[in-house]
Amino acid sequence: MSTARVESGELVLQLEPFSVLPMVQQVVDERRAGASDRSFRVPIKPGLPLVYADRDRVAEVLTNLLDNADKYSPRGQDITIEVQADQTEVTLSVRDHGRGLPPGDLERVFDKFYRVDGSDSQTTYGYGLGLYVCRQLIEAQGGRIWAENALGGGAIFYFSLPVASQHA
């Protein structure tokens, strides 16, 4: 998804009720095919409510968060995906085991072109657009996205989507 399409309002969402767990499993299976040395922990939580969102755009956000976790986690460390729900939203999280984020950067990481370490000495390069696009996609679907540092190190990226029954 290009930032130009998101910013220009040309983004067309295909909102519909769907179950997040099969989508999570599909995205993880695709990541496993490309990262054989990485282990992913995936939730098994039957009975979750359906979300009302664009399945492809949610998969795109999850793929981006998994890519980031893969880039910033040391080799051999698991990436953990969790899913929780309440009456109004379903929340997915991706936890890595990297350095975590400086406290002042927890919100700024979603800013356009923002990089935690913009120096030329960094080992992971990018343009600082991935998390910005994730925020735009999630918020366009009535959701929210945020980051926290994990106890014991690493970062956790969360996003929540509205439960489908709220749109009935």
The single-letter DSSP state of residue 163 is B
* Alpha-carbon distances, residue 89 vs 53, 59, 108, 112 (angstroms): 11, 17, 24, 26
pLDDT tens, residue by residue, 82-113? 999 999 999 999 999 888 887 777 676 766 75
pLDDT tens, residue by residue, 54-76? 999 999 999 999 998 988 888 88
Provide the sign of the torsion angle of the four alpha carbons 73, 74, 75, 79, taken in this order.
Answer: negative
pLDDT tens, residue by residue, 107-154? 767 667 555 554 333 444 454 568 899 999 999 999 999 999 988 889
pLDDT at 62: 97
pLDDT at 121: 34
Residue 140: Cβ-neighbour burial (10 angstroms; 0-12, 13-18, 19+)? middle
pLDDT at 115: 57
Residue 67: Cβ-neighbour burial (10 angstroms; 0-12, 13-18, 19+)? middle
Assess if CATH 3.90.1300.10 describes domain 3-167.
no
